Amino acid sequence: MKTILSLLILSTVLFSCKKEVVPNSTFTPGKSDENSIMSSNSHGGNWLGVYGSGDYPYPLDTVQDNTFISNGIATLSNTPYSYFYTSINLKIPFGHRMSGDSTKFEVRLRNPSGQTGSIFPYDVSLWLYGSQDTAHVQFLADLVQYTALAVGDKGKTNTKSLLYQFQDWTDLTLEAKDKYLTVYKEGLPVQSIRYIGANIGNLKKIEIGFKGAGSVDWVKLYNSNTNVQMMQEDFNLTGQSNVVWY
């Protein structure tokens, strides 16, 4: 995977015409498309949103936080595309850089069927972008061949344990610790890989991706070695980011 990881503009997208798990450019949700983003106790950093079409040549639209934070959640549902992917991402401010290899990324999210913007197979992904490599997990409700848990070229695809539909609000965690990358659902381990020979490095950006219009209730970052909380965002300020660093 390391040889095909190309971080071009803001983010990474998973898609190819052959439907392989291929991080490519500017927007993170993994693709299952048939045709184929300061001081202590201070605020810092703004969330950006990305819409991406599933149709070649894959147009992308980056939007500001005032368009997708409302009523205590972040959700990108105002899209010109009928078949689309979304993501929200946050660049880590320089003064709060931490080791991606000692990071716990916890998110409460959902991507249900039956709502405006729902698109099968309801992909959900979490991403840790580092100075040396990228870690990610990719869930789908179906099409097991596009599931993934990896750091660079170290990892697993085609994993049945990563088949899940986030119909209801769910606490999902991606943790890098002691050269293991582990994903938890509601605090219980789902899958883990050993990534000896790869390094995430200095954490530069985090991202949450969906196929369709998924939603995020809150986001937290911890030091996975000490369990000390580093950041929290509750999306409680309509139209603006409210990232708190500890």
What are the structure tokens assigned to 212, written together?
Answer: 């369709």
CA within 13 Å, CB half, 174: 25
Cα(205)–Cα(188) distance, rounded to whole angstroms? 25
pTM for the structure as a whole: 0.84
Q: Where are the domains of the chain?
A: 2-245
Mean pLDDT split into 10-residue runs, the chain, 246 residues: 32 33 34 35 76 78 96 93 92 94 98 94 98 98 98 96 98 98 98 97 98 97 98 97 96
CATH topology of domain 2-245: Jelly Rolls (2.60.120)
Beta bridge partners of 216: 74, 109
Check residue 131 and give its pLDDT.
97
Check residue 80 and give its pLDDT.
78
Q: How far is CA 165 from CA 12, 158, 162, 194, in A?
A: 22, 16, 9, 25
Check residue 97 and give its pLDDT.
85
What are the structure tokens assigned to 72, written together?
Answer: 């205590």
Check residue 171 and give its pLDDT.
98
**Where are the extended beta strands (E) located within 34-169?**
42-43, 47-53, 60-63, 69-70, 73-75, 84-91, 103-110, 124-130, 134-139, 148-151, 154-157
